[in-house]
Amino acid sequence: MMDMLLRPRIIIDQAEPADAELLAEIHAGGFRRGWSADEIEGLLADATVSGRVLRRETIFGARRPQGFILIRTVADQAEVLTIAVAPASRGRGYGRQIMEDALRCLYRDLVPEIFLEVDEGNAAAVTLYRSLGFVEVGRRKGYYSDGKGPGGTALVLRLQLR
């Protein structure tokens, strides 16, 4: 019983511009080129972009972001712009929780399909997306280039929500 009281509570809610600094830190921990707080704040200001943040609540009530997703929705299609989990919080299922929350929101908003791109070498992410029902609809060779050689191939995945 005591263990349950000390276990942090997980909350997923709307990303706010005030979150931009912490989200930029999380993003930098997961990508070769992280996005700046200004870039994230600019995306959150865009009416076509929505963001969801997974926060872990401490026993003292602090709610620190552990991961987030940004999605652009235009007409009847959504696209995952990015999803990231803080390096120290990986392996806890947070990425799945964030994706499932985002998919529920899109379903509620009657969005029929969502697309994303993922580096084919990112086995954990590819496994997650496929387990959620995403299917490969294309490939982009050299998409993840760092300018020092041939880049990794991006898999273009789609999920029909409706």
Please identify which of the residues 41, 117, 120, 144 carries the catalytic annotation.
117
Q: What is the C-alpha to C-alpha distance for residues 70 and 128, in angstroms, rounded to an integer?
A: 17
Find, among 28, 38, 34, the residue nearest to 87 by Cα.
Answer: 28
Residue 117 is among the residues annotated as catalytic for this protein:
yes
Q: Choosing from 41, 94, 120, 129, which is the catalytic residue?
A: 129
CB 111 within 8 A of CB 77: yes
N-terminal to C-terminal alpha carbon distance within the chain: 41
Residues ≥6 apart with Cβ < 8 Å to 1: none
Residue 32 · residue 54 · CB < 8 Å: no
How far apart, in whole angstroms, are the C-alpha atoms of residue 54 and residue 12?
4
Question: Which residues are designated catalytic?
Answer: 117, 129
